[in-house]
Each structure stands twice: as structure tokens, then as C-alpha cells.
Structure 1
Amino acid sequence: MTDYSEKKKSAQIKSAKILRQKPNIEDYSKSKPVQLELFELVHPSEKDYSNTIELYDFIPKYVWGRVERIQEKFLEPIERDFECRQQSYRVRISPARIKDSDGVSRDYFPGKREELVEDALRKIATAGQGVFLDNEAGVTFTLYQLQQELKRTGHSYSIKQIKEALMVCVGTNLQLTDVSGHDVLVSSIFDTIGLQTREDWEGQGEKTKAFVRFNALVTISIRNRTFRQFNYEISMGYQNVISRQLHKRMSHHFTQATFSQPFTIRLSTVIRNFGLTTYTKLSHNLRDVEVALKEMVEKTVLLKYELEKIMDTKRRNKIADVRLLLFPHPNFVSEVVAANKKQKEAKELA
């Protein structure tokens, strides 16, 4: 059998280096460029909102559901194809190696918990705690503050679980390539994490200041003003991961939203671009997506939806795909109009 411990050695060395190198925020050059100020949403009318990030937010980097480990420890990297703005990409997701409470190191992919932690940290950044550290976008916070923000939005995690999520984010490696196979990005979900001392990290550290430097694509999006405002409160309130992914996608790309013009996407595209499991029967995937769409109707993001079945031309009565017609709710349309105005102002001011 393959020696997986040797296979992971270089990744472990890299993670250890990240944690040792500049563990204190004082070691970094701090700045707040005008683009970061434009990224902030500090007006009282903007308290429910955060920002989506061009390309980065649409990489299917999260793994939903249970995974089977090799030797109860190891996970093979996952490769996924997806599209963003009619461009094809492939991402290779290499799991993080985390030492569990029983002393055994195991591989972990980022999942729902890590997505929520990242979204909460980005919200904290938009609320005025964002900072550029050595010219890379980051955020300062305390573990207690992060825990309370997650709890406020309906997601209760212990300090230990939050630390684990941070470690998974900094230890997960993403290799993004374009259609020609050239690297677009090789990076972790979080470039760097840090607490003031190792003792703070190993202890509770609820009130200890921490910092994260986000993925490089977040910095690029902030600098280029390609981020877009979306309703963070609704997104964090979803029970269904498909609802959250679809809401972010619509908020970022459906810039011409009107009551009469639906957002159209195929079921096969949702499965591929969101990193969902492809079931033997397409109807099972459709069932899961319909649950998400009903939740979006309940949240007044969608007014209604329609399904157009695309039949297999070679096999009678077999569904080849389904076209989803998503009609936006007036509330969502209003938010898109506001986001368009905000983005236009940001580009003009910068």
C-alpha cells in the first residue's frame, strides 16, 4: 500500500512554516488602502450585508457530507471542474492534516463549518476590522468575537471547533488551473493565521487578538473593486448549502435582475459548480435542489421557480437535465440595484 505519510510530508512542512513565520501581527506592515475602505459596509443601512469575491467564491472548494478515509487517517486530493463567466477551470483540493484530541493526525477537507467561519470573518472585515498585512488583505478579531458572530447567525461552535476550522482553512491547498492546464492559483484558503503566542493558540484564548490573511484572490478582488454586496444575514440563515451557494452566485452575477426576467441555470451546472455528489438518478439531485429553491422562496429571495425537463434523445422517458428558471423576489431585485450602485461608486471613487 502507498506510504501516505511521505505523501503528506511537504504539506505538513508548509503548514508548520505558515504558523511559525510572523506569528505576531506586529511583524507585519499594516495599511488600509482606499480599496479596502470601499470594501467596508459600515453605514447602519448596510449592517445586513457583506461582499462576494470575483472567481474565488465560485471555486467549488468545500466538500459536503461524510468522506471515507484511507487507513482511517488519509484522504486523497479531489479534482473538480467548474466554470466562471464562461471560462473553464479545474481545482485540485488537497486536504489539511490536523492533529486530533486523541493524538492522531487525520486529513480534513473544508466543509460547511469552514465556509461559515470564512464568511463570518469577511463580514467582520467589512465592519471596519479589515487590514492589509504586507499588502495582503486580512482581518483582526478575537476568537470570542468570531464565536459570537457565528452564534448570532445561528451557528454555535466551541472555541476548539473554531480553531480547528481555522487550521483546516490554512492547511487546505488549492491548485487552480485554466483550460490549458496553466496554474492560475496555488494557495491555501487562508494564506496565514496567527495568535500572539503558542500558549494562546493551545489554550482557550477567547479574548486574545488573532488575525487572518485571506486568499490572494480576495486581495486581487478588493484591489480591482470586483467584489459585490450581498445579503449576508439571509445567506448565513440558510439551512441548505445549495441555497447559500446559489444565493451568492445570483447576487454576484445576476446584475440585471428584474421581476420578469428569470435567472437561468441547469441542474447539471449546479451539481458541477457547487461540488455536489452526482447521484445515479438525476431525480435525487433535483429533489435536493428543489429543497434549496423552496428555502429561497421562504427567504423572499425568489418569487417563484419553474423547472423545464430536458429529455434524453436516445433513451425514452429519461431526463438528461433540468433547466431551472429562478424568478427573483422584489426584495432581491432591490438589493441587486443597490449593489450595482455601490459597485459603480466604488469604481468611480477609486
Structure 2
Amino acid sequence: MTDKGGKNVVAKPKPSKKPPSKVVKSVQMDLFSQFLANDVSEVSNTVEYWERIPKYFISTQEQDKLRTAEGLAKPYEHEYKLKDKEGRELTYKVDIQPALIKEENGKYKAFFPTRTEESIEEVLKKIFTEQNHGIHDPKNIESWVRFSYGMIRRELYRMGNGLRYDQIKRSLEVMSKCILTVYEDGKEIYTGAILQDYCSVDREKYLEDTDALHITRLPVFISHAVNTLQYRQFNYLRFMECKEQLTRFLYKRLVNRYIHANYMNDYHFMYSDIQQASGLLRQKTERDNRKKVLSALEELKEKKVILSYKTDERKEGRMITDVKYTITAHPEFVTEQKAANKRTSMQQIEAQKSGVVVDK
């Protein structure tokens, strides 16, 4: 990131906050933690306002190319476009300042958040909903989660994604030390880490007990969503089992946009929209990028999210300028969306009964 004079500027995180000394009871936290599903271990919450910020799109291979010979790296800038509820297109930019992690040789190395950190974030959001592990302060709009390396590791193994304790430790460092700065139409709207005010146990205590609890503050986007009920139930197990990152992106997009999925209506989206919003179509050619979209759609069929899809290529002469994808929902996805809708309606009623004012 640079200032007006073109000089590099390091984004500075805000002063650290201390976690609450005791549990704060709130209706909002209770509602966020209650799910409508046969097996609550399979579901979690998606927070679209936070998750639509591209942050995990840099691959491990690309990360290596961004580093200098000394292992350092400059902040990475990525521009993208999103449409608001009225369909107006807004221009965004995210600057990702990498985390500098001290290696065993005493030298520092730059790390950008990747798919591994994305998985750990999802695990932490799930742990946040479990009894005695999540704290939400509605007055100060703060959400804290208590967790251990062991809890994260066991959950990842349950999803078939095993990591060693040292890998989990590294990822948590990356998430707490990299800084995101988000701009909307040129104006800065957010600066902060993925995990804020991360308090880890010391090495000696960790060696004694890998289940020793750490605590961290979740981003304000998530805290605001808990306060205002702006989140949605989704199949967390299915999401974590998706092999391709683009599949994960499309799945959450369908959860949040294809709300009234049924057997009679379909849903469509454009290739250009996915290219702008996801940051994940980074192949050498547009042809390869389009193949990547088809691969993700095939995985969505395999995971019983969609039943079928059709493509409609838009051309200028012989050149493909865009593609329209039209999908129909799988019965399992329809059932899950109906459950998510019912849960949302029940929460709205409960919030009104409890006197919770839900400001959008």
C-alpha cells in the first residue's frame, strides 16, 4: 500500500482490546448458536458481508513467486467489483499486507492467507457457536472465541483435512498478523487482521497441554452480523469437504443468493461476475478459467448442491466475451435452504419477543 506521495505505508492495527473477564449473556449470541438441523455438527453460519471480501485467493505457488530472495513480500493489491441490492456495481479494492513470521533460522518470512487459513476460520466460527467457547458483547459489538489447537486439529481431521500442531500455529499467526485494508469506491472502509487481539498460551503451557485454551476477537463484520441477524445457516460439512476453492465460493454464493431454491425455479450468474468477485480465476488463459468454473460446477453436482447446469456463451465474432450459467437445485440443497429460511423466520420472531432491535 502507498500514500499519496507513492511511498510504501504499513497499515497499523488498532490498539489491542482485552477479552471479557466473564461470559456476557445475550439473546443475539443464543440465536446465532441455535440451528435448525437434524445434526447441528454439520451446520454453521455464513456471513456474506465478511466473506465477500477476497482474502484467501493467493495460492501457495503464487505466494512463493511474490516473495523476494530474502523471503519478504510487498502488500498485494486486488481490485474487484460487487453489486448492491439494487443491482448497482461498486468498485472495491483489498490490500493484503502479509504476515512476517520468524523462522527457526531467525529470519523473517512473509506469508499471505491461503486456503488453509480459510478452513481454520470456518472451524473457529463453528467453535464460536459451541457452549462456553463463544462470547458476544452486543453493546460493544465484540465477538470472542476460545479454542485450542487440539479442537481445531480434531475438527479438521473430521473433515478429512489433517494438519500438524505446528501448521495450525503458523496459520493462526498468519491470520492474526496479516492486515487487510478494504476500499469501497476509493474510500477506506476497513483495516484489520482476520483474527484480532489473538492471545495465545505460552510455549511451556502448550507443551504441557495441547488443549490449553487460546482466545481471539473475530472481525467486526461478524460481530455486527450477530447483532443484526445478518447471517445464514449452511451445510458447513459439505463446504469443508469441497476440494476446489472456487466450488466453496460458488456454494456460499448460492446459499446467500439462491434463497428460495425449489424444483420450479432456477438461478443464473455470469462468468464476468464470478471473475470479478472471487479473485480465484487466475489461470493463464480465459479458456482455462472457464474450464475451472465448469470443474467447480461438476463438484457442486457431486456434492448434491445442484442437479444440473446449462451454459450460454456470449460472443463477439468468434471471441467468447462472457458466459451465462443457469443451474437447477438438487433436492438436498432445496431442503437445506428451506430449513435456513425457517430458522431465519423463527429468529426474527424470537428477537422481537426479546426486545432486540435489529438495525440493518
Give TM-score scaled by structure 1 length.
0.88
Partner in structure 1 of residue 355 of structure 2? none
Is residue 2:165 matched to residue 1:162? no
Shift of 1:324: 1.3
Shift of 1:228: 0.2
| Contact in 1 for aligned 2:35/2:343 (Cα 8 Å) | no
Query: What letter is aligned with 1:141?
Result: F
Query: What letter is aligned with 1:118?
Result: E
Among candidates 45, 52, 57, match of residue 51 of structure 1: 45
Equivalent residue runs for 1:115-154 within 5 Å:
115-128=118-131, 129-132=133-136, 135-154=141-160
Among candidates 34, 38, 42, match of residue 31 of structure 2: 38
Partner SS state of residue 324, structure 1: strand
Q: What count of residue pairs does the alignment treat as equivalent?
A: 333
Give TM-score scaled by structure 2 length.
0.85
Paired with 1:197 and 1:132, the residues of 2 have a C-alpha distance of 25
| Contact in 2 for aligned 1:304/1:327 (Cα 8 Å) | yes
Paired with 1:306 and 1:10, the residues of 2 have a C-alpha distance of 44
* Cα 1:108–1:84 shift into 2, 3 Å: farther
| Contact in 1 for aligned 2:247/2:296 (Cα 8 Å) | yes
| Contact in 2 for aligned 1:31/1:132 (Cα 8 Å) | yes
Among candidates 309, 312, 329, match of residue 308 of structure 1: 312
- Structure 1: 5+ residue runs without aligned partners? 1-5
Partner in structure 2 of residue 261 of structure 1? 265
Partner SS state of residue 127, structure 1: coil
Cα deviation, 1:215-241, whole Å, max 9, x if unaligned, reads 110000110000100000100001111
- Structure 2: 5+ residue runs without aligned partners? 1-6, 352-360
| Contact in 2 for aligned 1:54/1:221 (Cα 8 Å) | no
* Cα 1:317–1:227 shift into 2, 3 Å: same
| Contact in 2 for aligned 1:96/1:109 (Cα 8 Å) | yes
* Cα 1:279–1:204 shift into 2, 3 Å: farther
| Contact in 1 for aligned 2:195/2:216 (Cα 8 Å) | yes
Paired with 1:252 and 1:53, the residues of 2 have a C-alpha distance of 9
Shift of 1:102: 2.7
Partner in structure 1 of residue 320 of structure 2? 319
Among candidates 180, 187, 193, match of residue 182 of structure 1: 187
Cα deviation, 1:60-97, whole Å, max 9, x if unaligned, reads 11133222112342222222213153452322221111
Partner in structure 2 of residue 3 of structure 1? none
Among candidates 272, 285, 310, match of residue 276 of structure 2: 272
Among candidates 214, 221, 231, match of residue 227 of structure 1: 231
Partner SS state of residue 287, structure 2: helix
Moved beyond 4 Å, runs of 4+: 6-11
Partner in structure 1 of residue 219 of structure 2? 215
RMSD: 2.4
| Contact in 1 for aligned 2:71/2:108 (Cα 8 Å) | yes
Query: What letter is aligned with 2:249?
Result: Q
* Cα 1:232–1:184 shift into 2, 3 Å: same
| Contact in 2 for aligned 1:41/1:47 (Cα 8 Å) | no
Q: Percent identity?
A: 27
Shift of 1:58: 1.0
| Contact in 1 for aligned 2:36/2:343 (Cα 8 Å) | no
Paired with 1:214 and 1:56, the residues of 2 have a C-alpha distance of 11
| Contact in 1 for aligned 2:180/2:194 (Cα 8 Å) | yes
Shift of 1:141: 1.6
* Cα 1:151–1:130 shift into 2, 3 Å: same
Query: What letter is aligned with 2:189?
Result: V
Partner SS state of residue 47, structure 1: helix
Shift of 1:162: 0.6
Paired with 1:107 and 1:8, the residues of 2 have a C-alpha distance of 16
Paired with 1:123 and 1:323, the residues of 2 have a C-alpha distance of 34
Query: What letter is aligned with 1:82?
Result: K
* Cα 1:153–1:84 shift into 2, 3 Å: farther
Partner SS state of residue 50, structure 1: strand
| Contact in 2 for aligned 1:195/1:208 (Cα 8 Å) | no
Cα deviation, 1:287-320, whole Å, max 9, x if unaligned, reads 11111111110111010111111112xxx21111
* Cα 1:47–1:56 shift into 2, 3 Å: same
Among candidates 56, 60, 64, match of residue 54 of structure 2: 60
Cα deviation, 1:264-303, whole Å, max 9, x if unaligned, reads 1111221221112444531100111111111110111010
| Contact in 1 for aligned 2:281/2:292 (Cα 8 Å) | no
Partner in structure 1 of residue 68 of structure 2? 70
| Contact in 2 for aligned 1:60/1:82 (Cα 8 Å) | no
